[in-house]
Amino acid sequence: MAENQATLVKNHNDQRKPESTSNGNHYTPRVDIVETEAELLLFADMPGVRPEDVDLRYENAELILRGKVERDEGKGNLIFGEYDVGDFYRVFQVNETIDASKIDAEIKNGVLTVHLPKQEAAKPKHVAIRVQP
């Protein structure tokens, strides 16, 4: 399983504070990637993100995650803030054979969960050992 890890390709220096770009500011959301026998699971910390503001793509063995989180201005004057807002962008190279037709994602309680199911050929197989007389 160790050979089948998702690898971070671009993380824009993995800085937690916004970084200036030609399109404004962006930030890097925190991500965990877990591998099971059946799939890779990506968990991205995204408080305040709306599903329609996320662009998630899988192409050429890369998972591309981009979008934006806007500050909620309706709750009064912000005195202190640690939640990241602005554009985000992450690209992961996936060293695994993924069944792209079955990729699924959901957002719940500020966490984006992406399911990347493995193709049958990539799943581990149990090999029975015969006893010779």
In a domain, 133, yes or no: no
In a domain, 7, yes or no: yes
CB 113 within 8 A of CB 43: yes
CB 17 within 8 A of CB 27: yes
In a domain, 34, yes or no: yes
Mapped onto helix, strand or coil, the DSSP state of residue 4 is helix
Q: How do residues 18-55 score in pLDDT, each as one tens digit?
A: 444 445 567 788 999 999 989 999 999 988 888 999 99
In a domain, 45, yes or no: yes
For residues 58-82, give the mean pLDDT: 83
Output the pTM of the full model: 0.70
Q: Which of 120, 66, 65 is nearest to 96 (CA)?
A: 120
For residue 48, what is the domain's CATH number? 2.60.40.790
Structural domain boundaries, residue 49: 2-122
- In the chain, the number of structural domains is 1
In a domain, 132, yes or no: no
Mean pLDDT over the full length of the chain: 79
Distance CA(37)–CA(30), nearest Å, equals 24
Q: Which of 129, 84, 92 is nearest to 110 (CA)?
A: 84
Task: State the pLDDT confidence band at 58, using cuts at 50, 70 and 90.
Answer: very high
